[in-house]
Amino acid sequence: MEKAELEQLRIDPAYRVISKILALDGNGNIISPLSLQHIDEYREQEQKLKLAQCGWYYPQLDKDSVIAALKNQPEGCFLLRKSSHSKYKYTLSISTGSKVLNIRISPGSSKQYGFQLDCFENVSSKLPHNHCVISLIEDLIRTGDLSRCSFIDHLGLKNNLVRITYPVKRNPSSLKHLARLSLNSYLSNSQTMHFPQIRQDFSSLPNELKDYLQSYPNAI
């Protein structure tokens, strides 16, 4: 495995799972010949667990149901669904206020930068990539104004999207999950000076609670 690929792996969310089966030397360097196929498999496993918990992934939703779910929703509200196109895994459906915009998400792999909204090549470098589709959408929310970027919708037409804001959930989230989202949101916005105390507090938590928090590190 190349050095650049190892560095990319280290910052990947799936590293928490992958590292459990890797052989490491005394400095924490990877010495196990893990293949890129294995890395993709573990990323996929991690992602499936997160999608099952997020509450706004709709694995089976047709276009009419998408319109009904997003009808009368404010601009920027969205949901994630399984793509009907064999080349893509996911489609992001967003309310623009007057209509529903469906943008496919280009697939990622270990050899690429990861998932990205299907867009024209001249704006690809301006948009976030991520090996986790939920983290990609979280990055897009943080990006804010997307009006200068042109996307390709499910009909192959050029569209401009202003912003992505809040997910439309299938059912209300549990109080436990809402608490986890609040904590993750706080951690993502905390100043660096707070981190040592947070790490100390986290280490004292029961293992079951640690696993629950680590299984969904996102804030949406």
**Which of 41-45, 69-73, 122-126 has the largest mean confidence?**
69-73
Amino acid identity of residue 200, one-letter, is Q
Identify which of 138, 141, 157 has the alpha carbon closest to the alpha carbon of residue 54. 138
The residues, ordered by sequence, that sit 6+ positions from 85 with a Cβ below 8 Å of its Cβ are: 91, 104, 154
Work out the mean pLDDT of the chain and round it to a whole number: 76
pLDDT at residue 78 greater than cutoff 90: yes
The full set of domains in the chain, from first to last, is: 3-54 (no CATH), 57-160 (3.30.505.10), 175-214 (no CATH)
Q: Is there a contact between 94 and 101 (Cβ–Cβ < 8 Å)?
A: yes
Q: Which helix (H) or strand (E) holds 152?
A: strand 150-152
d(CA 91, CA 103): 6
Q: What pLDDT does 145 receive? A: 66
Q: Encoding tokens for residue 135?
A: 């983290």
The residue-averaged pLDDT of 127-148 equals 82
Q: Is there a contact between 79 and 62 (Cβ–Cβ < 8 Å)?
A: no
Backbone Cα Rg of the chain: 19
At residue 79, the 3 state secondary structure works out as strand
Strand-strand pairing, 78-82 and 57-58: parallel
Least confident of 2-6, 22-26, 37-41, 133-137: 2-6
End-to-end Cα spacing for the chain: 33
Q: Is there a contact between 47 and 72 (Cβ–Cβ < 8 Å)?
A: no
Place of tokens 């792996």: 9
Q: What pLDDT does 1 receive? A: 43
Among positive and negative, which fits the CA dihedral 97, 100, 104, 105?
positive
pLDDT at residue 131 greater than cutoff 50: yes
Q: Which helix (H) or strand (E) holds 103?
A: strand 100-106
Q: What is the pTM of this model?
A: 0.74
